Amino acid sequence: MPDEKNTDLADKLRSIIETVDVANALTAPLAVSIEHLLKISAAEINSEEASVLVRDGDDGDLRFLAAVGKVAEHLKTLKIPAGKGIAGFVFSSGQPMALTDVGEEDSFYAEVDRQTGYSTQTILATPLRHNGEIIGVLEYVNRIGEPPYASFTAAEMDQVALFAEAIASLVNAYESAKLFQDLGDKMLSASETLKYEEMREWVGNLRETNEHKEMIDLALTVRELAGRGDAERKMCREILESILRFSDSEAETSFLSF
């Protein structure tokens, strides 16, 4: 007769591995879609380089999630310190910017150019928003061709704002899938007994949005309670089903929908 403890552990590991596999299956096509939209939008405004930056840690640093252009692969290895650069200003202020000569802008973070060997002269940067929260920055650098480069226009700023809406949705989906991937990796590296308090501490230190943290924390709560026995598992299911029925019937007025 197989050891029940080992069987339970095998089932847990199988479930975790399946979660990681699903997350892996989601992140790759989402990353490709983000870069595809970057290429299309950059071509629309005749820009040579385009990139997406997202928050990296709780200190406000930004990292390049995706990039297209001559130095795209190098950019993906770099970070911009909190409060630095045009992207840092746009992320913190929520205001788009278009600059003709970045060398005259005090907030320009020249270290990226020093690291990549690129020469940034003109920039158009706009915030990425999802559900009212700024989750990143969309940047376009220089025009295709030779300098001096023509300025980015107000009309082009409005144009890329439309692309920013679509890209923000993809970025949010990517970051959500990445969270589950990281959670699966964390569980796989944990000891045989899953320590939920340690998991919650890890969730609390995540660099993602509060919405993502709350989703994972809720999942951990349900998993912990359901793992205590058949009665608890049945209770969880009944409570969640009741909430779903209430939410469906009272969608317009429910406190759950704000």
Q: What is the DSSP string of 87-114?
A: HHHHHHH---EEES-GGG-TT--THHHH
Q: Provide the 3-class DSSP secondary structure of residue 56.
A: strand
Q: What is the pLDDT of residue 122?
A: 97
In contact, 168 and 142? CB cutoff 8 Å? no
Among 41-55, 123-137, 152-166, 213-227, which is the least confidently predicted range? 213-227
* pLDDT band for position 123 (cuts 50, 70, 90): very high
For 16, residues 6+ apart whose C-beta sits below 8 A from its C-beta are 184, 187, 188
Tokens of 108: 């320009």
Tell me which residue of 223, 232, 214, 174 sits closest to 196, measured CA to CA.
223
Among 42-51, 102-111, 203-212, 241-250, which is the least confidently predicted range? 203-212
Instruction: Evaluate if residue 6 carries a pLDDT over 60.
Output: no
Ranked by mean pLDDT, which of 188-192, 195-199, 225-229 comes out on top? 225-229
| Rounded Cα gap, residues 158 and 98, in angstroms | 11
Q: What is the CATH T-level fold of the domain 36-166, as seen in this structure? A: Beta-Lactamase (3.30.450)
* Mean pLDDT within 76-98: 94
Q: What are the start and end residues of each CATH 3.30.450.40 domain in the chain? A: 36-166
Alpha helix positions (H), the chain:
4-44, 72-75, 85-93, 111-116, 154-188, 196-204, 210-226, 230-249
pTM as predicted: 0.67
